[in-house]
Amino acid sequence: GEDVEQSLFLSVREGDSSVINCTYTDSSSTYLYWYKQEPGAGLQLLTYIFSNMDMKQDQRLTVLLNKKDKHLSLRIADTQTGDSAIYFCAESPRGGYQKVTFGTGTKLQVIP
Amino acid sequence: DAGVIQSPRHEVTEMGQEVTLRCKPISGHNSLFWYRQTMMRGLELLIYFNNNVPIDDSGMPEDRFSAKMPNASFSTLKIQPSEPRDSAVYFCASSLRRDGTEAFFGQGTRLTVV
């Protein structure tokens, strides 16, 4: 079945850039998502990218997609302590959000 | 809009009891999803409704689980009888789009079955 993998933990210093990586196996993936989960809260959709795009930028967030390698990354510029959270990568095929597959999440710790 | 509202936020119950989790989606959203999150299995989609109709319930673990959406503004997830292995955080999410590309999550219900 589909699989989405992420490293479990990332620690960065405040002000540095964070890069969270994700790999997926489903070649029919059309939508790729990044969600943020703060303690005791639900998932917040940060951004998503269509598989026909290579890059998407939104303020401090940059998403890069390497479709050939099935590799997705989320870069957070000027990381702040408020960015500390768990970040989930997810993918779904076209028209099939109900078939979305989430990664295990990467816990980002920002050190002041 | 207040976002997706789930209740209760926390539930502790004894094994064998019936548990009902509630969700109010964002007004105007016609797709609703129930998820379960555990350390061991991560996020799992349990069931998906579109226009109040269950479209895909293949993620529902067993017959002890049931979900309803009697109208566009309310859904329930029921577990009867509950078991300790059902302990998890249950999330409800809603989306304007059938393909759910912008799904908004509630804050979740933390269920503990003892």
pLDDT in tens, chain B (114 residues): 679 999 999 999 999 999 999 999 999 999 999 999 998 888 888 999 999 999 889 889 889 999 999 999 999 999 999 999 999 999 999 988 766 667 889 999 999 999
Contacts of B42 in chain A (CB under 8 A): 102-105
Judged by phi (left if over 0) then psi (alpha if -120 to 50, else beta), residue A53 lies in: beta
Contact B103 A97 (CB under 8 A): yes
Residues of chain A with pLDDT under 50: none
Contacts of A96 in chain B (CB under 8 A): 99
Residues A16, A99: Cα–Cα separation, whole Å: 35
Backbone angles phi, psi at B85, to 5 degrees: -70, -5
Name the residue facing B45 among A44, A98, A103 (closest C-beta). Answer: A98
Query: What count of residues does chain B have?
Result: 114
A:B CB pairs within 8 Å: 55
- Token pair in block for residue B61: 């673990």
**Closest chain A residue to B54, measured at CA:** A98
Contact A44 B105 (CB under 8 A): yes
Contacts of A45 in chain B (CB under 8 A): 102-104
Look at the alpha carbons of A2, B33, B90, A107 in this order and tell me if their dihedral is positive or negative.
positive
B1 CA: distance to closest CA in chain A (Å): 15
A104 CA: distance to closest CA in chain B (Å): 6
DSSP 8-state class, residue B62: S
pLDDT of A2: 67
Q: CA separation (Å) from A29 to A17, A50, B45, B46, B98? A: 27, 9, 17, 20, 17
Mean pLDDT of chain A: 90
Look at the alpha carbons of A66, A69, A71, A77 in this order and tell me if their dihedral is positive or negative.
negative
Burial class from Cβ neighbours inside 10 Å (0-12, 13-18, 19+) for residue B44 reads: middle
